[in-house]
Structures are given as structure tokens and as C-alpha cells.
A and B are shown apart, each in its own frame.
Chain A
């Protein structure tokens, strides 16, 4: 067994020092009827590295990969080019195989990285502070709703109809058990968002308004009016960003008055990974920091006065406060936060802005090209790198027909909102820097044929 260093003679020697005859003597506290005498049913014995790798290669070949096909999917997970150095850095054993930095004297690498990450996220979102990451965007969104409840001591959250339906589902799951009430609605295939509904719904009972920016259909709108109305009634504005690259082109939610900004950081550094692991981003105004969930890294000095970093404000957390903690979260998404931070450091201000401009310009071109097809309409007035098309027929079978031609042609609203007829002709198309003009033409021609 290549992963087990003890030899049979080591084991014998150790049993002797312990003072027992056999390994079974160390399991005496396990009642006999609970001991498994034979092997696990059906599981073969150990396998060579080569055999295991072969098994996975076989399975991997059964999936259609984003890089090798025309690819236009988004809806909360985006395909961007990740520089080679990102994966190199996150595979360094000192990052990959470290634990949560509980012993700061020998974890300054992770801690300094987290301090840099927190600062990058706060600046990107236009907020004062950010935490050291959450599991993903959907759980960060739920935690933000919970945090708003603690701050305002109110239980009504108003959710925009443009919030990712999975995020809405997660919030609904949790709300069943916490006594929060959620005011939700389905989106319409229209250029206008439901901001009028949100403004009408805000009242003295409202803890928060939750708005995705850009939203699930790709629409972008100014959040200032919603922030103002929320603040007038003592409620908070939570903005949700599922595509942080957008913030290289459009205003930060914090700069439009959002009190808490959460997001999915997957699009920088992390990759698609069939949905996980991703990295939840969480930022807010400084005055709310003690109600924040999750780990926080802070600057301090050591006994010799040298700058150093530690995990701090842990009296909010479960390992100190137990049932009174702000969240039950423990393990977060440290290595994905590193990938995000490295990618953003490589980009810098200049690179992020360039990347955002490139994404937007390509998306505009693709929207123009696809709407040349008879019967295809663009729903959006505004968008960043993702927009929604209204097709002349149900979109879900069209996406399958495209896949039959080895084109990954967007996400149908039928997949995201099953059973909602009014949305079934909607197709969400994302366009990033990885899309080539050949991809676009292949996609457009196939779409035209399928719709004909």
C-alpha cells in the first residue's frame, strides 16, 4: 500500500510498546456486533496508480468539455482563461496541504494571502471590509440574509426576481426553519427588471432587499434608488454578484449604496469544475463587521514588533460561541480564495478592465449576430457578458439539439425554471474571452438550422 509507511515489523514493535497482542485489542471498545469482520461488500482490494487513473480517464472521456467545443454557458458559472501560474501556485504543497491558520507563527503565508484577498474583494465590491471566503455564492447569499436579520432584528427579506433561482431555492430552504419570510417572484422575459415591485415591497418590516447585479437574465440596473428606499425604511440592500469580472466594467454595488455585497468568485482562478468547489465572496460596511459570518484575517504585530496576520474577531464564530455564533461555518474555501486572489493579482487593475471590456465587446457582437436569425429576439437593453434571447420555440430541446452537434449553446430558462411556460423560450447566452469567431459562426449557423 503506497500510502501507508508502517511495515509489519513496525506494527509488531509498536503493539509491543503499547502492551497489547494484536490490533484487535485496540478496538475492544467497539461492541462485537458492530465490528465488521469481512471486507466492505463489493469494494475490490487496493489498486495501482495506473489502474485508478485509467478508470478516471474512461469516465472523463464521457463528458463534453468546455475548451474543446463552442461554449456559451453562464448562469452563475463562467468559463474564463485561467493563467497557468494560478494552478502552479495553488499546487504548492505549502498552500495545498496546510490547515486553517490556527497557529499564526507558521501560517503567515495563508494569512497574508487572505488579508490580500479580503482587500481585493472589498475594493472590487466597493465595500469597507470582506471576509476570508464562504463555500460559494449561493450560501454566501443566504448568510447575508441571515446577517441582515440580525442587524435589523426583522424577518422579511424581499428578493429580486432576477436572483439566480438556485440562490432563491437555498434561501427558501433555510427560511423554512428560521422563521424568515421571503417575498419572491419569477422573472419576466423583458428588458425591465422588477425594481418597481421591490420598491413597493420595502416597508418598516423589511430586513433586506436582495438584488443580483448583473441579474440572472444578464440585465444591469442602477441600485441607488433601491438602496435609498431601503435605507429610508431601516432595511439593508444586499447585492449579489455572480460574475465578478463584470465589476471591471460596471460600477461597484457598494458605490451605489449596497450594505452587504456577496458573490460567486468562481470566474476568477477557479474554473468550472462541474459546479464546485467554488468560492463565496462576502463584503460589507465596516459598521456591520461584528455580525459577519465566517473567518476574518486581521493585521497585528508580533512580540518583536514585526507586522503579521492572525485570524480575528473569532468571538463571532462557532468554535467560541457555539450555538450563539453568527454562523456554523468552519471550513471555508481557502484554496479557491487563493486561486481567485492570484488570478486577480495577475490581472491587476489594467488586466481586469481589459478583460471586462473584451468580454462585453464580444458579447455585444454575439448578441448582434444571433439576433440576425429569424425569430430570435434579444430580451436585454443592457448586459455585460451575458444576455437572454427569446427563441421562437422552447429553448430546452434546442440546447439539447445543439449539444448533439457538439455545441454547448447556453442555458435554457426551462432548465432553471422548470414548469414555467412563460420562460420556456428563454435562452441565457454567456460570452467570454474564450469564445472565437469560428465558435460564434458555428453556433449561429446551427441555431438557425435548428430553429428553421
Chain B
């Protein structure tokens, strides 16, 4: 193959002009600065027209709010412009390549947005009589069924609101199962390479957390794990594929060993995208695994949520899953099992994790994604995601250290370290250099087991041309970091902001806007 293709498509550069004059406004053509709503809105401006209220005697218990709240209003045109300008300060998957490792930033199909907005799903109250929401319950039930099929598990808890909430759900199932047999096990084993949510979720449920070491291959040290198992170990939390981008090839043995020692196996399913349609976690002996619908099943990340984290459960843990859940009767009628009937048909449930019934708006999108891809498409998703990641790994391992490249193919993400850069240069500089090149950086400094980790997850929705251009750009930035190019230390140069002072932000936190005179008074 012609290696020159790896530098990818390049735009015409034109004549670079370094003498750009300052502007009166501070704006730069399409790059528009935007004030805060508190600086441009007023208490008397509004962007909505309301009917006049009928005259009645108030029954507010003498608690009328007279003092000004301090909420600025904008007219509709000002509002639309404000947020449109803000939006243009954001990088997004719609705009470009977003290889954030372990976050699965894939394309968000717009059909999914359309179906989620159908009035029959979006304009329905969660406490309507069950007879009036049969279609909504059917969606939840259908998605639940496919999640069970895709994972080869026994049951699924649909209500968890995000990945970490799902982790907590799985951990509470384990806790409830142990309690049911009167077993006071109190330790959860977690690999060092785990997401921070894993130990946090286990600790939240009252477990103590111990680390499992990794081998030099970047996988769980099976011998060390077996040595630690015992009557105090409630279970393990394993991410598979793991955060080094590798499949835990001993997973079945890990599960068998944990089960033999009386514990349970939790799998962090954040990286399910690598194996969807090709591997069923249920065949690996897993007892509980959350699925980030906002990763594998393409529901939009929305600048930090909402997510959705259904948890598939083994036969051993299913009886302890949370309320409520949906069920289909023999006559095709859908039920919602809430607190009342649960006393008879789901008596061991650990209880409720959230008001209402979960992230319906995410369920419609995820189901739309699954049906659009189908069995053949989902398998192709995993294959292309893994192919793209290996392509990046092998195209860059000569310029960036890839600590586990010798361990075999990676799964859906490629891991590099910052070893070998010039003195004083690190992963951060590479990340900021990539911003100038028009990319969102990869995940940096995670997993913690690798020095200056750079975790690149391309996903399956990127073309070869996109990957080629990215490979060329990362190669160029890496070479600058190895050569000690000082301009990289002050990157990004072309973003809406230069590097921001995070130390100042944390030392003297300013978390809300205050009127300038209030600030002066507070000094």
C-alpha cells in the first residue's frame, strides 16, 4: 500500500499572513465572542408571550416571592443568537473527528432524534394509566429484549440513568444477593486501569475496594487475582475490553475462579462497542454489566449527558434487580411492575433507583439504532471499530510508544504513552497541538497504568480518509513534541481560547456570576 496516503488529504494553504490586525470588537469574522446572559439580558425582557392570568385571590400560603430573583430575559432573536454563538465555540462529532478513548464518540443518527420526538413518546406522562402508554412500554420491552439477546444474559434492569448509575445498580444486586444468603463479604476487587466510577460505585455501596495488578501485557494478572480471592471478596469489577484497549482473554477463567470462591463478576460495559454482535458477555460468565446507550448505541452525549445505563444480569442476580420494570403478558398487554405487584412477583428486588421508569428518550434512540443496523450491521460495527483502531495503532507505533502493541491486536481503541518525547514535553502538549490541527484530542492521562496515556478510539463511523488525515496530523504533532518545538508548549493557538488557568479556577472558585458591584463589595 502506498504509505503516502497516510498523510491524508491536505487543504490548499494559501499565503499565510501573520500580520492580522486587531479588531474593534475582538471578534474575528466568523469567530464571535459572546457575553453572558446576565450581561445582556434584563429583568423586563422576555421571549415568550403569555395570556393574562384570570383575577383570583391567591392561595399561596402568604409565601409570595417579592424580592427580585435576578433572572435575565432575552427576546427570541437574542436568545437564538446567544446560543448559536456559544454553540460555535464547541467541538462536536458533527464537526469533526472526536477520538476520545472509552467514550465512543460515534455519529448520532438523526433518525433517532426524529423518533424520540414523536409525540407518542415525548409527550407522555410517566404516571399515566398503563392502558394509555402501551406503545411506550412496548419500546422499553423491545429494547430490553434485544439487550438481553445481544449480551446472552438472563435479565436487564432498564432504569439506571447513566453508566455510573448502572455500575451502582449491578453492585447493589451483588450486595442484595450476598445479603440474601447471609454472606457478609465486604471487598470488591478492581483493576488499576478501571474507570474511576468503578471504585467510586463500589465504595458508595459500602464495599472496600482493593486493586488487582496488571501483567506487563496490560491484562488482569490472573494468578494475583486468584491468590486474593477468598471468603471476604464479594466480587470483581472488570472492564472488558479493558481500558488498555485489550480483550481480557482470561475472562472465562476469571469468572470461574471468582464464582468458585463465592463471588460475583461485574463487567464495565463501557467498551462494548468492540464486541457487539461478535461476543456475548453472558458466555464469559459475567453476572452484571452496564451498557452505556450513549456509547455503543449512539444516543448523543449532549455535552455531558443525559446518558442511560441499563444493566444486564445473570440468572443469579436477576431476582435482585431494581423496580420498576416492564413485562409482557401472554395476551400481548404490557405491564409496569412497580412497588405494588412487585411484592408478589419480584419480592427480592433491592428497590428503586430513580423516580419513574428510566431514560425513555434514550430508549427510543437506542432501539432505533439497533433496528437500523440489525444483526449484520451491529457485527460490522464491532469489526469496523476494531479495524479502525488497529489501523491507527499500526500506523503510528513507529512514532509514538505503544506500550501494549506487542500484546497483539488492540480492540476498539489504541493506547500510546508519552515516553520518548523531548525533555519537558508531554501528552498535554500533543493534545493541545491536535486542537490546532482541528481535532478533538484523544483521552489523555487515562488509564493511569501508562505514563502520559493517550487513548485513541476512532469508532466505526469514520472513513479511511478521515483516519489517514488524523494519522498524518498526529504524526506531525508527535514529531514536533519529540523535536522540542517550543510553539507546541503554548498550543492551542487557533482555538477560541488559549490554555486556561485551571489552578486559579480551583483556588478561588467562581461558580456563579455576580454583578460587578457585588464582586467589589465582596473583596
Contact = CB atoms under 8 A, between A and B. Distances in A.
Interface in A160-184: 164, 166-167, 169-170, 172-173, 176-179
Contact of B504 (A11, A23, A300, A327): A300
B306 A351 contact: no
A324 B432 contact: no
A248 B71 CA distance: 10
Interface string A172-201: 110011110000000000000000000000
B374 A44 contact: yes
25 contacts: A1-B377, A3-B377, A3-B460, A6-B460, A14-B390, A20-B409, A34-B251, A40-B379, A56-B115, A59-B136, A92-B84, A93-B92, A97-B92, A112-B34, A113-B83, A178-B204, A219-B61, A220-B60, A274-B356, A274-B357, A277-B361, A331-B294, A348-B42, A349-B68, A416-B127
B439 to A, nearest CB: 9
A437 B60 CA distance: 22
B261 interface: no
B100 to A, nearest CB: 6
Interface stretch (A62-70, A151-159, A227-235, A444-452): A62-70
A247 B121 CA distance: 28
Across the A-B interface, the 10 shortest Cβ-Cβ residue pairs: A348-B73, A60-B120, A335-B302, A275-B356, A93-B94, A62-B135, A382-B61, A275-B126, A334-B304, A277-B306
Given A85-B80, A336-B306, A221 B352 contact: no
A133 B303 CA distance: 12
B370 to A, nearest CB: 7
B215 interface: no
A353 B69 CA distance: 10
Interface string B364-391: 1000101111111111110110111011
B23 interface: no
Interface in B463-506: 463-464, 466, 490, 492, 495-502, 504-506
Contacts of B252: 31, 33-34
A90 B496 CA distance: 21
Interface string B387-422: 110110011000000000000110100000000000
A14 B387 contact: yes
Nearest to A410: B127
B435 to A, nearest CB: 6
A22 to B, nearest CB: 10
A94 B94 contact: yes
Contacts of A79: 123, 125
A40 B380 CA distance: 12
Nearest to A404: B131
Contacts of B372: 2-3, 46-47, 49, 52
A345 B73 contact: yes
Nearest to B66: A251
B56 A365 contact: yes
Contacts of B277: 36, 39-40
A202 interface: no
A338 interface: yes
Nearest to B74: A345
